[in-house]
Structures are given as structure tokens and as C-alpha cells.
Chain A
Amino acid sequence: MALDQIVDGLSEVSCDVLVIGGGTAGPMAALKAKLKNPKANVVLLEKANVKRSGAISMGMDGLNNAVIPGYATPEQYTKEITIANDGIVDQKAVYKYAQNCYSIIEELDSFGIRFLKNENGDYAVKKVHHIGTYVLPMPNGETVKKALYRQLRRARILISNRYMATRLLKSADGRIAGAISVNTRTAEILVIKAKAVILCMGAAGRLGLPTSGYMFGTYENAANSGDGYSMAYHAGAALANLECYQINPLIKDYNGPACAYVAGPFGAFTANNEGSRFIECDYWSGQMMLEFYNELLSGKGPVFLQLKHLHPDTISEIESTLHKVERPTRGLFQQGRGVDYRSESIEMHISEIGFCSGHSASGVFVDDNARTTVPGLYAAGDMASVPHNYMLGAFTNGSVAGIDAMEFADNHDFAEFDAAEVAKERDRVMAPTKREDGIPPNQIEYKTRRLVNDYLQPPKVTRKYELGMRRLAEAREDMQERMIARNAHELLRALEVQSIMDCADMAVHASLYREESRWGLYHWRTDFPEKDNENWFCHTLLSKQDGKMTSEKRAVEPYVVPIADGEKDLYAKQRIRATA
């Protein structure tokens, strides 16, 4: 078979702005960069195919964080996210998002993506969060990718599908110079020189192992193996608050959202085995996940999403969304199990761990211009540190990144990199193809992710983490010395395992560094069970310094929107209190 056969080859191209990742943030970043300077070359590099890549491959059911005039204010939203994220927020970026997102909604609307409106023609925004109202359904949400793709073609963005970026290139003085990538079907190397690079490579969603044991049965698009986190790390960029894991309440075994954001506004709720509510609010926060975890273990589990009390017409309306967009195989899954929402509740479970700022706060550190700590390098979407930013955050911050990166490219020439770096990276990439005998990537990946579950899943115990670190080091040695790839597709998986391994190491390091508990279940350390604002009201930044993984504290920027003392704990009070 011609496809997947390894071809020895290396070529080099150049562009003004290189966007890596064509899911959600990436297309918007590429589009905005090109519109900012239509004469410039913008390349959009994608490991899969931009038409159907990323978290919104099959569209999205709605916006989870729309700040729409008349329903919410940027101040209110900034306050809500600050509280939901236990105060560890640089508000400037969140506030900027909240101010800009409405214009992005209008722009998406002009692309042909419709949003739910009421009989007066106003946006029909729903309440899911604890305080404000930000959830806006998308009746034709399955068309998102198609609408974006049309815009990319119209703007003449150069799209390169099936190229996986593996490392960033820098100049001697530390400025970004481009990236090295490999064709996922031929293993040919492509070096892309660029004046600015934007990383939009999604979550680290293949970190823990789903309880089904199926490696690709993840919540995130399974292509999101944390490559962006790993590349940013090796380029010397700082990564923020990685210990604030992503853990989600999902349909058991299916491992996709149930989804309370869709069903909640219609009256569905999360219930225990007695059919009783136990949490105040279904918004995904670490505090909510802790209550969910406690309920599962309390003898009152399993936990369910309950719809059966609703009118059959309402259930049909919910079904038409759940079984059409985002994860359309939900219907097939329930049908296979004989579950009808009209008579039976949906069994829920807790997901494996991952990194994703889209839902929590673990990401490559960026400021309010989407700049990382490496000059000329940007990040947006699930892999950048703006917390809880979901799909609309990816679009909005992708837009910010695209505009700022093109400005940077307009004012800088290409940075020079050392050709020896390319040769070194080529050797690293191709190493698994040079071995005659060894361990295939799927076995190394399974073992690594099983170790992540065994040792890293919260509650975080120091002794377990220390053991986990040793076991992961052994798996890393196997990966570096013995892993084999017999064709280009297997090489793609072999490269992904290396990202997964890096993310596992970073998860351990970041978690051991923060000696307190914060963000509910996301960073619950049994050896330091209390929140310690005196010593740990700060970001943690992880980076590679002199070849070693290092963590340091970074002060939280002064708030733009003040939070009153009485408001700070609103998300800590998630559990419904028993009434006499």
C-alpha cells in the first residue's frame, strides 16, 4: 500500500504567520491574520484535515460563555470566572474576551451560523452558571466547520493537512523562527520558517485512560494528544497551572457529555441513586466535580442526568440536539443499551484526567494579547491559559492572536535558526522507524496512560505521585530506546506518545509543586488538604530551564473587576444543604 509507506525526504517552505492546528482557534487566527495583512502568507498546518478536525469536528450545540448585552456584562462574567477558578485568574485576558466575544458572535452569524432567538428576535440565552446567564444554543451547530472552511478558502489561506508539527525552531536570541513537522502518511519532514507562530493545538485529551479501556474513547477529540503543550515546553515557553486538571462528568463508558448545559435549561438535573439533587449548579467547576466524586463514593451513587420527569415533547427537543451535534453517536449508544430518556436516567461517571483551559485553567501561559513567554510565539484555544474559555473563547482569543501575530510579523524579519536543530529533530522523529525490533507505540501509550490513572488521578497523594514518577520514567526509557514504528501512521502514534509522556511528567511536576488543595477535585492533595491563600494565592509556571523541568510562582495580576469577600466562596458552596 502506497499510503503509510515511509519516504525519506525533507523540504523547507516559509510564510509570515504559521498557525498550527486547524480546529477552532486556528482557523479564526489564520483568517484574522490574513485579513490584517492580505499580502502576507498565512499557513494553517493541521495534523488531520481542517474540514473535520478538532473538538468541533461535528459542530457544537451552543455557546457556553456568551456575554450578550442585555443578559450579562463583561464585569459580571469576569467576576464569575474568577470565582469559579478559585481566584487564580489574570482578569485582563478574561475581561478582554468578555468585551470582544459579542462581536465574534455577530461575525459567526455573518458566516451563516445561527443562534437561538426568541419570539422578539433577541438571543435566547439560558442560565447554567452559578451567577450569570451565558449559554446560547446553536440550532444549526453542525455547520460550524463547514462555515469556517468556506471563509478560509475565500481568504486564500494556505492549508496543509496531514502534517504534524513536532518541534518549534528559535533563533540564538530566543525569538521564534518556525516549526518542524512531519507528514503523517509518508513521514517526510517539512520545515516551515515563519516570522510568528500561533499554537492552536487543542487540549491534552489523551492523558488518562478511559475506564472502558478503549484508548481513543476520550472526551476530547482523540487527535488532541497534547502536542502543543509538549512543543511549547521544549521551546522554553512557560505553562500555567497545569495541576488544575480537566476532569469532566460524562456519560459512563461513552465518555462524552450528557449534556447538562443543553438539558439543564429545560429542567433536567444531576441526581443520585435516590433521584435527589445534590449539587446546586451543573456548571463544570472543580468544586462541582468534587461533589460529584464524593456522591459516587458515598453509597448514593451512581450519579445520573435525569430527564424522565420532563414532558415528552421537551425530551424530543433535547434529543434532537444531543443526537445531531457535537457527539451525534450519543443516540446510537443509548439505543444500543436500550435507554430511553423518557423512562430512564442517563448513568454518568467521572472522566480520566487531561489538560484543557477550555474547561479548567491548565494551559500554555498567555497574556491578554495571546502572547506566550517566547517572542513571536502565540497560543489560543484549549491549550492556552485563559481559563474556562470554551469554543467561543477559542474563536475570540484566536482572533486576538491572529491580529497580534500579524503585527509582529509585519515588524520583524525571519529569525535565523541553527540547521543542526533540524538534523537533530529529524533523527529524533525518525528513530522509531530505524529499529528492527522493539515495542509498538500502542503498548507504550496504553501503559503510560494506565500509569496516569493509577498514580495521578485525584485525590493526589504525594507517595503515589513519587511512585508514578518512577514508573513513568521507566516507560519513557522504553519509549526512547525501544519503540518501533513500521509505517508512517504508526510513526504518527509514536510521536503522539512522546507528547503524552511529556504531559504526564508535567502533570506530576506541577502537582507536587503546589503544596495546597485548590480547584476542588482538580487539585485535591491529601497531604495538603486545605486551601492556603497565604502561600499559594498565585499562578504556578512550569518551564524548561537549562534542560530541566522547573516550576515557579507568579503573582496574580491585580483584579480589573473587584470581588467582594462575600462573593469569593460562591462556587465553594455547591452541595445542596439538607433542609429540616
Chain B
Amino acid sequence: MPLASYQTSVPVVVDDAKCIADKGCTVCVDVCPLDVLRISDMSGKAYMAYDECWYCMPCEADCPTGAVTVNIPYLLR
């Protein structure tokens, strides 16, 4: 069966201006219990690659530059 991609508004938002992943930081990617954050090959910044979020906060709490914001996933907002 062919697959289609599915649009979803992701709860974790990264401020590219503050994110220092391009300098080698991987804190948010490291701490996420669901392993849903990745670093973009194109921008060098962290982003939410998979919409599988427990809205638990380590990524936001541990980010050294305050670049990460966790929002409540839309479906349960």
C-alpha cells in the first residue's frame, strides 16, 4: 500500500536565533525521553522531527540558552 505523509502541528518549538546546536550542542536531543528531537542538516538547529511528545519539559528545562519552548500538543490543548 502506498504511504502518504500527514500534516501535524508539533508542540516543541525552537528559536533558531538562540539555539546553539550548530556549535555542537545536543542537550535537548540527548535528554528527550521519546527521542523526538533532531538537528537539521540544513539549518544546523534543533527541531522536532517526530510528533510523539509527552510534553514533559526536559528539553526546555535543560536547554542552556533558553531556545526551546514546549507547548501542549494541539489535540489535548
Contacts and interface: CB of A to CB of B under 8 A. Distances in A.
Contacts of A1: 38, 41
A58 B56 contact: yes
B77 A336 contact: yes
A396 interface: no
B33 interface: yes
Given A214-B75, A254-B76, A221 B1 contact: no
A254 B55 CA distance: 10
A62 interface: no
B10 to A, nearest CB: 12
Interface residues of A, number: 43
Nearest to A256: B55
Given A214-B73, A216-B73, 13 more contacts: A3-B38, A49-B31, A51-B58, A52-B33, A58-B57, A212-B73, A216-B53, A222-B52, A253-B77, A327-B56, A336-B72, A437-B1, A489-B49
B15 interface: no
Nearest to A329: B55
A184 interface: yes
B13 to A, nearest CB: 13
Interface of B: 1-3, 30-35, 38-39, 41, 49-50, 52-58, 61-62, 70-73, 75-77
Given A254-B72, A333-B77, A52 B31 contact: yes
B58 A58 contact: yes
B52 to A, nearest CB: 5
A385 interface: no
Residue of B35, B38, B73 ringed by the most chain A CB atoms within 10 A: B35
A352 to B, nearest CB: 13
A482 to B, nearest CB: 9
Interface in A1-25: 1, 3-4
A300 interface: no
A214 B10 CA distance: 12
A492 B33 contact: no
Interface string A49-75: 101111001100000000000000000
Q: Name A's interface SS.
A: loop
Interface of A: 1, 3-4, 48-49, 51-54, 57-58, 161-162, 184-185, 210, 212-218, 221-223, 253-255, 327-329, 332-333, 336-337, 437-440, 489, 492-493
Contact of B33 (A48, A253, A254, A493): A48
8 contacts: A48-B34, A58-B58, A161-B30, A221-B54, A222-B33, A253-B76, A327-B56, A493-B52
Contact of B72 (A4, A333, A489): A333
A447 to B, nearest CB: 14
A184 B52 CA distance: 15
A152 to B, nearest CB: 15
Contact of B32 (A3, A52, A254): A52
A489 B36 CA distance: 9
